[in-house]
Amino acid sequence: MKYVWKIAGIYLAFLLQSLIFENLRMFSCSPDLLAAVVIIAAVSENFVPASILGGFAGLLYDVMYGEVFGINLLLYTYLALLVSLATDRRSSNSPLIMSWVCFVSIASLEIVIALFKTAMGNTPAFGQLCANILVKGLFGALFALCFVLIVQYIKRKRVETSEIAQKKEAAE
């Protein structure tokens, strides 16, 4: 059931990315919500489910927008795999670590994409690469920060509610 929610979350992120975030442009690039969601999911999962979730995100991208099938599928699968292998699952509780992981992962993803384009004879301008890292990375970091804070707040509220209920029961 947990994975159904995560897959639904990734699909929602994909819809938001393609229908809203593609229109939000700063320095000629738009924030990458999908990558941020995949990274957050990958940190909180073991590497096999993380890769599957990443692969699902890449597959959606390839099916709807990819010029050649498989590029994003591989990129997102390995992004999720590496993030999951490189991080501790407990890191998902720390907003600062999550922001940092998100920024570094998105920056690495952008560099890999730039290298891939260079290999195809289509070198992107260095300034554009920096703008991509800045806009997408900072957005990802901010999103991760907000996401973890909101999740922690909801968890805290739940604990408080259950504690109040227990006290009431005890009093009765």
Partner 1 sequence: MKKFSKKHVIIYSAVTLIILILAAFSFKLGNNPVSNAIGTVISPVQSVCSSAFNGVKGFFGNIFNAGNMAEENEKLREEVYTLKDELRMLDGYKTENDRLQKLLDLKESRTDFNSIGANIIGKKIDDENSIITIDKGSKDGVEVNSVVFVPEGLVGVVFEVNTNYSKIKTIFDAESSVSAICLRSGDMGIAEPVENMTTGGKCALNYIDRSAKTVIGDVIETSGTGGIYPRGIVIGKITQIKEDSRNLTLSAVLETEVNINRLDRVLVTVK
The residue from 1, 2, 5, 67 that contacts partner 1 (CB under 8 A) is 67
Quick one: 20 or 146, whose CB is closer to partner 1? 20
Closest CB to partner 1 among residues 58, 95: 58
Q: Choose which of 7, 71, 97, 138 interacts with partner 1 (CB under 8 A).
A: 71
Per the rule left: phi > 0, alpha: psi between -120 and 50, beta: everything else, 27 is left
Here's the x/- map for partner 1, 95-124, by CB under 8 A: it reads as ----------------------x----x-x
Give the residue, chosen from 38, 40, 73, 101, that forms a contact with partner 1 under the rule CB under 8 A.
73
CB atoms within 10 A of CB 49: 17
The residue among 111, 112, 101 whose CA lies nearest residue 38 is: 101
- Residue 17 CA to residue 143 CA, distance in Å, equals 13
- Alpha helix positions (H), the chain: 2-19, 33-43, 47-65, 71-86, 95-119, 126-171
Residues 6+ away with beta carbon under 8 Å from 24: 30, 31
**Number of residues engaging partner 1 in binding (CB under 8 A):** 40
- At closest approach, how far in Å is the CB of 98 from partner 1? 18
In angstroms, rounded to a whole number, what is the distance separating the alpha carbons of residues 171 and 33?
A: 47
CB of 153 to partner 1, least distance (A): 24
Where does this chain bind partner 1 (CB under 8 A)?
Answer: 15-16, 18-20, 22-26, 28-30, 46-48, 51, 59-60, 62-71, 73-74, 77, 81, 85, 89, 117, 122, 124, 128, 132
